[in-house]
Amino acid sequence: MEKFIDTHAHLNSEYFKKDRFLVIESCLLNQVSMINAGTNILDSALAVDIAEKYPDFVYASVGVHPSSAEEDFDIEKIKELAKSKKVVAIGEIGLDYFYSSKNISDEEFFKKQKDIFIKQLSLAEELNLPIIIHSREAFDDLYEILKTRKLKGVIHCFNGNVEDVKRFLELGYYIGFTGIIFKENLDEVIKETPNDRILIETDCPFLTPPEFYEKRNNPLSLKIIKDKICKIKGEDIGDQIYNNSLKLFNI
Ligand SMILES: [Zn+2]
């Protein structure tokens, strides 16, 4: 059976509160392993708890998402969580200029986002961990920050254009593709991305590919994403994608 790694899942989210372990079991039976990504301190801690229940195949990343930039931020707590051997990355972290805050001006909000992002980049450097990056309408600022650092990582759920992808490839980043490739035309971006820099991810419970049998997305939809990428590439690069995930996250 072909092996997969969902490099960005949220089985630690509320949406899987009732049945996350059933979903994980069915993924493991189908040779689909996963990294559950944190978005705040609480769900990062949960991602670690979930990962530690399994000797292998279920991993975690810990970090505070830019949308949570107004919550109490404590880098020491993230550092503590990152001590688990099952933590393979710091993330998801980044910049999101799409949403405004209800409480503070955009200027203040985006400044906070940058501030916590930079602190978490330094933590990733200190711990020698790759980063999982979320970016929405923020590629220019993101690029300016990342080019001053020597980090490894993935631009998750990529939906920029060819010029954008070239910039991040040049910096050495991997590019993560989700079910968004069914909603937006990213064919040229996928062609531009070398096979050894492609990762696949579901971002479940969101971004369900249209052909998937369930409305709530889960890591089992990964094959649909892989098939579409291979079709665009004109060859089966499933093994390469799988090996890229092992390499980046040191699994
Ligand atoms: Zn996510």
User: What spacing in Å lies between the alpha carbon of 68 and ligand 1's midpoint?
Assistant: 13
Q: Is 207 left (phi over 0), alpha (psi -120 to 50) or beta?
A: left
* Separation of CA 201 and ligand 1 centre (Å): 9
Kindly tell me the burial class for residue 226, based on how many C-beta atoms sit within 10 Å of its own C-beta (0-12, 13-18, 19 or more): buried
> What domains appear along the chain, each with residue ranges and CATH number?
4-249 (3.20.20.140)
Spell out the long-range contacts of 68-71 with Cβ–Cβ below 8 A and sequence spacing 24 or more: 68/39, 68/40, 69/109, 69/112, 69/113, 69/115, 69/116, 70/101, 70/103, 70/104, 70/109, 70/112, 71/40, 71/41
* pLDDT in the model for residue 216: 95
**Region 77-99 average pLDDT:** 97
Measured in angstroms, how far is the CA atom of residue 191 from the centroid of ligand 1? 24
Mean pLDDT of the chain: 97
Give the per-residue pLDDT at 13.
97
Per the DSSP assignment, residues forming a β-bridge with 59 are 35
Q: How far is the CA of 178 from the centre of ligand 1 (A)?
A: 10
Residue 92 alpha carbon to ligand 1 centre in Å: 7
Report pLDDT digits (tens) over 176-234: 999 999 999 999 999 999 999 999 999 999 999 999 999 999 999 999 999 999 999 99
Query: What is the 38 CA–ligand 1 centroid distance (Å)?
Result: 8
CA of 27 to the centre of ligand 1 (A): 18
Q: What percent of the chain has pLDDT above 70?
A: 100
Cα(108) to ligand 1 centroid in Å equals 23
Query: Other CB atoms closer than 10 Å to residue 2's CB: what's the count?
Result: 13
**Rg of the chain over CA atoms, in angstroms?**
17
pLDDT digits (tens, 9 = 90+) for 111-125: 999 999 999 999 999
Closest CA to 93 of 54, 123, 72: 123
Contact 182, 137 (CB under 8 A): no
Average pLDDT of 154-172?
Answer: 97
Structure tokens at 218: 């889960």
Work out the burial of residue 163: count CB atoms within 10 Å of its CB; fewer than 13 is exposed, 13-18 middle, 19 or more buried: exposed
Complete DSSP assignment for the chain = ---EEEEEE-TTSGGGTTTHHHHHHHHHHTTEEEEEEPSSHHHHHHHHHHHHTSSSSEEEEE---GGGTTS---HHHHHHHTTSTTEEEEEEEEEE-SSPPSSS-HHHHHHHHHHHHHHHHHHHHHHT--EEEEEES-HHHHHHHHTTS---EEETT----HHHHHHHHHTT-EEEE-GGGGTS--HHHHHHS-GGGEEE---TTSS--TT-S-SS--GGGHHHHHHHHHHHHTS--HHHHHHHHHHHHT-
